[in-house]
């Protein structure tokens, strides 16, 4: 939903340092939540964690919108994760394009060889 799509498309559900991210898609759009994990906790335990990014308003599952529920150092840490993730995606895209180009050159060479031997 509003405010969740960009982040949900960057991150899967899991632990990222001291942050736990719950990310995904439901019938009406995307959802995205961030919790701060206390020291020593590696997975989401809602009774011990604090949600810092989530639904600010609207009807959950229908018209909700997302944003920061609490601000602190975790905002900067999350922004660093976003930059890092975007860089990883760009690097993977470049590798995929390079691999695709190499395959095309190889396929073209094979085609030319077969046709020249006719």
Query: pTM for this one?
Result: 0.80
Q: Write down the domain spans for the chain.
A: 5-85
* Tokens at 107, concatenated: 């396929």
User: Does the pLDDT of residue 60 top 90, yes or no?
Assistant: no
DSSP 26-67: ETTEEEEEEEEPPTT--S--TTT-EEEEEEEES-TTTT-EEE
Summary mean pLDDT of the chain: 92
pLDDT tens for each residue of 63-115? 889 999 999 999 999 999 999 999 999 999 999 999 999 999 999 999 999 99
* Tokens at 95, concatenated: 């590798």
Tracing tokens 């961030």 back to the chain, one arrives at 34
């Amino acid at each position: 939903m509003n405010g969740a799509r960009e982040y949900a498309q960057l991150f899967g559900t899991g632990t990222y340092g001291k942050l736990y991210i719950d990310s995904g898609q439901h019938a009406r759009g995307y959802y995205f939540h961030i919790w701060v994990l206390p020291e020593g906790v590696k997975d989401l335990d809602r009774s011990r964690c604090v949600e810092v990014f989530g639904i600010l308003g609207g009807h959950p599952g229908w018209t909700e919108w997302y944003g920061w529920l609490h601000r602190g150092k975790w905002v900067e840490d999350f922004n660093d994760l976003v930059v890092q993730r975007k860089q990883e995606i760009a690097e993977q895209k470049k590798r995929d394009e390079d691999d695709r180009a190499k395959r095309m050159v190889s396929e073209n060479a094979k085609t030319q060889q077969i046709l020249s031997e006719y």
